[in-house]
Amino acid sequence: MGFFTDTSVCIGCKACEVACKEWNAVPEDGLEFTGMSYDNTQGLGADTWRHVAFIEQDKPMGNADSGVRWLMASDVCKHCTHAACLDVCPTGSLFRTEFGTVVVQEDVCNGCGYCVPACPYGVIDQRKEDGRVWKCTLCYDRIGDGLEPACAKACPTDSIQFGPLDELRERAAARVDQLHDIGVDDARLYGHDPEDGVGGDGAFFLLLDEPEVYGLPPDPVVTTRDLPGMWKHAGAAAAALAAGAAALFAVHGRRGGGR
């Protein structure tokens, strides 16, 4: 199960942010404008599990000759198929649910922070008050009871859609074709491909410009992909060091015994 966020119909209402905070009892943050357009939260964090970006561009929309357009997009944890945060968590606080999503157990988290730099999207964050990490759970408690996540429930335009990933990918591909047919040539999907560097995202997006415009990495890769090779090389180096030490000990031991 996962999210498909169609940014082409996002109106920037922030209903998803409010619903997420209300249902999950996420503390308030950013009640004042930052001076960065109409964005009062700036990005995802321990106290912002859904973040609506406002991007103003001097660029026409679709077949228009001129004009200014707003790109609005509700960002969230990507719930990666190959999740580096799971690989580095030493306590098992982060776990994969039966729905394929990634959830933090706050009562198990020891605040080590290893998962923070491991996330290729910069999603996971620690609360200053206690050092524990927090992020979107894809409303694990709600979907376990057959309900859709709070953000999708509150979205008035169906920009945020919840369901089986295979169905969402088909729906997203059809939406891209529809936009291309009406002249929105920049429409493209992001995070939908199971063959990408993170094995596909459990929360993917339809974008109207390059990923970098939205603050997303263009080619995300699971940060722990090289760990098996690193451990292999480290083990080989340790074995070689041990063999060298044993050889030296044998030589000097025999000489010492000769005295």
**Pairwise CA distance, residues 222 & 50, whole Å:** 22
User: Given this model, what pLDDT does residue 227 score?
Assistant: 54
The predicted model scores a pTM of: 0.79
Q: Is the pLDDT of residue 192 over 60?
A: yes
Q: Is the pLDDT of residue 230 over 50?
A: no
What are 56-63's contacts with CB under 8 Å, separation 24+?
A: 57/209, 57/213, 61/184, 62/182, 62/183, 62/184, 63/182, 63/183
169 CB contacts (<8 Å, ≥6 apart)?
4, 192, 204
* Each residue's pLDDT tens digit, 146-160: 999 999 999 999 999
Q: What percent of the chain has pLDDT over 70?
A: 83
- Phi, psi dihedral angles at 164 (to 5 degrees): -60, 135
Q: Is the pLDDT of residue 38 over 50?
A: yes
Give, for 162, the enclosing helix (H) or strand (E): strand 160-163
**Pairwise CA distance, residues 167 & 99, whole Å:** 14
238 CB contacts (<8 Å, ≥6 apart)?
none
DSSP secondary structure of 22-89: HHHTPPP---S--SSTT-SS-S-BTTBSEEEEEEEESS--TT-SS--EEEEEEEE---BSS-HHHHH-
Scan for tokens 């200014």, then name that residue.
Answer: 68
> Of the ranges 26-30, 48-52, 166-170, 197-201, which one carries the lowest mean pLDDT score?
26-30
